[in-house]
Every structure is written in structure tokens, then in C-alpha cells.
Structure 1
Amino acid sequence: MQSPDGDVFDCVLSHLQPAFDHPLLKGHKPLDPPERPKSNETSGTEEIIAESFQQWHDSGGSCPEGTVPIRRTTEKDVLRANKLRRFGKKPIRHLRRDSSGNGHEHAVVFVNGEQYYGAKAKLNVWAPKVTDPYEFSLSQIWVISGSFENDLNTIEAGWQVSPELYGDSYPRFFTYWTTDAYQATGCYNLLCSGFVQTNNKIAIGAAISPRSSYRGRQFDIGLMVWKDPKHGHWWLEFGSGLLVGYWPAFLFSHLRSHASMVQFGGEIVNSRSTGAHTYTQMGSGHFAGEGFGKSSYFRNLQTVDWDNNLLPLNSMHLQADHPNCYDVRQGRNTVWGTYFYYGGPGRNIRCP
């Protein structure tokens, strides 16, 4: 199937998807859906917000039952990679707390100090400008355990603009995982064996459309990652209750039991090691203080507890590595629950 944006999607038999190349998954079949976390919170939505979906649906909808859509990797995709052996992988140690020294800059909200079994949020989708082919701009949920030095386990999902990975400037739905702080394990999307896709309508790596516009309509996506209480695998939900698939528990060391941190927010890569800061935008490209319709947001933030209950965030921490370039501001109300605005333009008068 060809998407209007030029992508080609192959409908692959579920049991022949890349996940089942993994030695521990050979001969297996995708699992049945797990029990969904329970929520006591009613999440109201203002009429001005609509749900984004995926652009490839414009070309015909979905794959047949028993298959999953996989974005075709082309020779051009591989040749664009900065380092061929790192194709489909994030740069090493991109999520350290002192991240200002390695080109990765964050504006995030996080919680830690407890045992977490999942996270959920709605986030609006933009098309931030990325000014260097080896930079990216993303907004995502991180589910984290382990040390930031060498055995970090993460599960990640959100949207990103990455000219290097996709060859364009569209925001795309993506996933990521690692068990060794991005050194050798894990990858984006389905570019290695690991994540098991179960949905024939959602394509990981596909462009998201429509997008939010400044002073215009706002479009957001729902994301939830949680640990199935029965089998222990980490499941991913996209939009309004659409199960995408799962990361098998055996892929991980620390996350085999639970997460010790959950993080929400934006990240960019500033590839300029010296001189002026990059113009690459985070979120909408506008600071958090501009608010609704202008800034990017995450709303209805929740975590999942040991008993598979969704709970509002408590004792949140805010972190902006370079607040003059990208910042973050939190709030709470009855409609959006716990929420925050974040982002920025990158280089400006205060961020030279």
C-alpha cells in the first residue's frame, strides 16, 4: 500500500514479522489482548480538540486480518544513516541527567521513587522544524528502570520528526526500547526483533495527520504503555483504545519486574558542538508560557500501579536542560487532570 506521503507499507503475516526472528520468540504467535488498566478519572475533552490519526489510511485503510502493516525500509533510508551500524538506533547515552553535554536537550516532567507499571497521556501533534539532517525533535513517554550509565532499560512511544530516519519532515508515530543504555540492544519501531505488533490498522513509523496549528485547531493522540498483570509483557495502546502490540518481558532486565521512573515531554538533538545553538524546534516551536493553541501540551497524565489502576501523577519533577531554548510549565484542572506545556524555538535572543 502506498501512502500519500510516499511511504510503502507491506501487509506481513503476523507470525512472520521481525519480532519472531528473536531466538526466544521463534515459533510463537502474538498473544491475546491483556486486561486494560482501571480508571476512576473521567477525562473530559473540549470540543476544540480532535484526534489525529495516520496518513497512510488515506490510501486504503488497513491490512487484512492476520497480517500487520510494516513500513518498507528502502536503500535510501539506510544510506541516510550517519553511521550504518547505528541505523535504526538512538545515539548512545542520550538520556543521562547531565544530558546538556551530549547534544540531547529535554523539557520534561517525571516521577520517580515508586514502582510503576505503566503510563498514560494525551499529547498534541505538531510538525516542528528540524534544521539539520542528523537532528530530530520528538515528544514521547519514557518508562524507565536501571542506571543511566550502562544498564538502562527504557520503553518509549510518541511522535517524532527525524529527517535522517524517515527522509522527510512529517511527525511520525514511533516506538523505541533498549536494555543497555542504547549501546547495542533495541531499536526504533520494527527495525529489529523485539516488539510484537498485533494491530492490522496501526502502522508504526507512519506519518500522523492532521497536525496542530498555531492559533488554529489542535489535534492530539492518546498513548498508554502498561504491564500486563497476567503475562508481564509491556503493552502499547494508541488513540482511543487501539492496542498496537507488546514488548515481551524477557527483552528486559530491570523492566522485567517494574519501572522506577516515568517521564513525559520533549527532546531534541543539537548537533552543533560549538558556536550557535540549533534552530531545531521542540513541540510547536513556542515556549510553554504561550498556553493553549500556541504551545505543545501533554494532558491527563497518569501512571499505572501494581494493581493495574490508573492514578494521577503525584510529586512531579520538572526539568528543562536549557530553559532559554526550551521550557516546561505544569498545571492541573478538572478537564485535563495533570497537564503541562513545553517546548520552544531553539536558537533565539536568550538562546544564542
Structure 2
Amino acid sequence: MGPYYGAKAYLNLWKPIVARNDTSMSQIWATSTDTAGIVNNVEAGWQGKASGCFNLQCSGFIQTSKDISLGTAFKPISRYNKEQYYISITIWIDRYNGHWWLKKRDEIVGFWPKSLFNTLRGKAYSIEYGGEVFYENSNIHPLTQMGSGHFPVEGFRKAAFASHLEVVDENNVAKDVENLNVYSNEPNCYGVKTGYGSNRKAYLYYGGPGYNPECLK
């Protein structure tokens, strides 16, 4: 895997149903782990109601944009079998100063300083795209939706997508993702499906309703 120096994706915007104290998100991850098991990552995208520390609630990220406020609501959002909306997110490392930068569409939002990292200094060894749900009570079926709340098999306008997937190589060149591996640790609750569009760029459909008769059997 890797090394990678950045990643980009179009992330489909939805408003999933999120149970109290749960979190549902769609994002890009850049991750690196050392031999001692220490993990560093940077994550960027959108999220449903959440517990924990995100955006500028956490120390570290330095915002440079005066026009984009982290943590505010995106509008408009997609509707089932209706018009679809998305955001373009890019994260990459500045090879000169070691900072990890965040860009929304064509505007730089800010950066994570090099001083925050140890294993993620200089490069990442894993890039991931898609959705994630944290639910408070692991002993019951999760009530929180991921993405649109519908399974990937339903496809465009119905399932959430991440598309135009790219990674940045050692020459600072953005390249289309190839040989994309997919994974879901609870496929009866939340699924994932991959493919390639007519432009040959990789995409993912992902998500699901959480609770259903097959979930966490």
C-alpha cells in the first residue's frame, strides 16, 4: 500500500437519521501506522449528529479560509430518487513543510500542522473513501443510517456515492484509483459496492439503514 501524498473524491450529500449520541459520516481518510501500532490519520468530509470532538472543537487544525466555516450545514442535500448534490474534497501533504492541507472544491480551507503527526509525517500508506457509523450501544441493532439510509444495490439517486476517486503519487500527480478494495464489517447493516464510470474513474455506492431484520444476526 502506498505511499500516498493526498486524495480527492466527490462526496454525495445526504441527511441520514442519526440516533442520540451516534455519529454517521462520509469522508476521506489518509492513514499511516508504524511497527508499534501507532496510527495517525487525517479525515475530511461530512457528518451527521455526533458525539466526540470534530472540526475546530479539537485543537490542531488551522483554518485559513474566511469563507468556509467547519461544522456548518451543507445545503442543498440530496433526496431519494431526486436531484443529487455533492462536495469535492481534497487532502494532500505539502512536501516542503510537511503540513496536511484541506481543500473544498477549489478553495483551501486550512491545514493540520506537521507537529501533530509522527507516523503520518511525509506520506500516508492507506487511503480510504466511504462511510462510517459509531453507535453508542453495541449490544443492540444500530438505529443510525449511513449515507442515504439505503443499500448500495439501489444505485444512483438512491444510495450514497463517493466518486471521481483519486490519489496523489510521489511526483505530486493526481491519479485515478485502480484495483479498489471494498470492505464492510457489518454488511447486513451497511454495504458497499464499487465500479467504474464511463470516464473510467472509480466510484463507490455505500451505506444502509442500520436496523433491519438481517442486521447483526
Fold equivalence (TM over 0.5): yes
C-alpha contact 2:152 2:207 (8 A) present in aligned 1: yes
The aligned counterpart of 1:194 is: 60
Q: Which has the higher helix share?
A: 1
Look up the SS of the partner of 1:250 in the other structure: helix
Taking structure 2 as the reference length, the TM-score comes to 0.94
**Structure 1 residues 330-339 or 308-317, which shifts more?**
330-339
How many residues are matched? Answer: 216
SS in 2 for 1:208: coil
Letter in 1 for 2:90: M
Match of 1:144 among 11, 31, 36: 31
Kindly indicate whether the alpha-carbon contact (under 8 Å) linking 1:116 and 1:306 is maintained by their aligned counterparts in 2.
yes
Q: Is 1:120 aligned with 2:34?
A: no
* Contact kept? 2:193, 2:206, Cα under 8 Å: yes
Deviation at 1:336, TM superposition (A): 6.6
Counterpart contact for 1:287–1:326, Cα < 8 Å: yes
CA-based RMSD of the aligned residues comes to 1.7
Question: How does 1:249-260 map onto structure 2 within 5 Å?
Answer: 249-260=114-125
Equivalent position amino acid for 2:101 in 1: W
Q: CA deviation at 1:251?
A: 1.4
Q: Secondary structure at the match of 2:189?
A: coil
Inter-partner Cα distance in structure 2 for 1:311 and 1:273? 38
- Deviant stretches of 4+, over 4 Å: 147-150
Question: What is the one-letter code of the residue matched to 1:126?
Answer: W
Cα drift, residue 196 of structure 1: 1.3
Residue 310 of structure 1 pairs with residue 174 of structure 2: yes
Name the counterpart of 1:66.
none
Contact 1:285 1:345 (C-alpha < 8 Å) held by counterparts? yes
| 2:137 corresponds to 1:272 | yes
Q: In the TM superposition, what is the alpha-carbon distance from 1:246 to its structure 2 partner?
A: 0.9
Following superposition, the deviation at residue 284 of structure 1 comes to 0.2
Deviation at 1:338, TM superposition (A): 0.6
- Residue 18 of structure 2 corresponds to 130
Matched, 1:157 2:44: yes
Equivalent pairs: percent with the same residue? 43
Q: Deviations over 1:39-95 (max 9, x none)?
A: xxxxxxxxxxxxxxxxxxxxxxxxxxxxxxxxxxxxxxxxxxxxxxxxxxxxxxxxx
Query: Would the aligned equivalents of 1:116 and 1:303 in 2 still touch at CA under 8 Å?
Result: yes
Taking structure 1 as reference, are residues 345 and 336 closer, same or farther at Cα in structure 2, changes over 3 Å only? farther
Distance in structure 1 (CA, Å) of the matches to 2:200 and 2:74: 22
- The structure having more radius of gyration, on CA atoms, is 1
Equivalent position of 2:206 in the other structure:
342
CA distance 1:193–1:350, shift in 2 (3 Å): closer
Call closer, same or farther: CA 1:330–1:210 in 2, change over 3 Å: same
Unaligned runs of 5+ in 1: 1-112, 166-186
On the 8 A contact 2:21/2:135 being kept in 1, the answer is no
The amino acid of 1:300's aligned partner reads H
2:13–2:77: 8 Å Cα contact kept in structure 1? yes
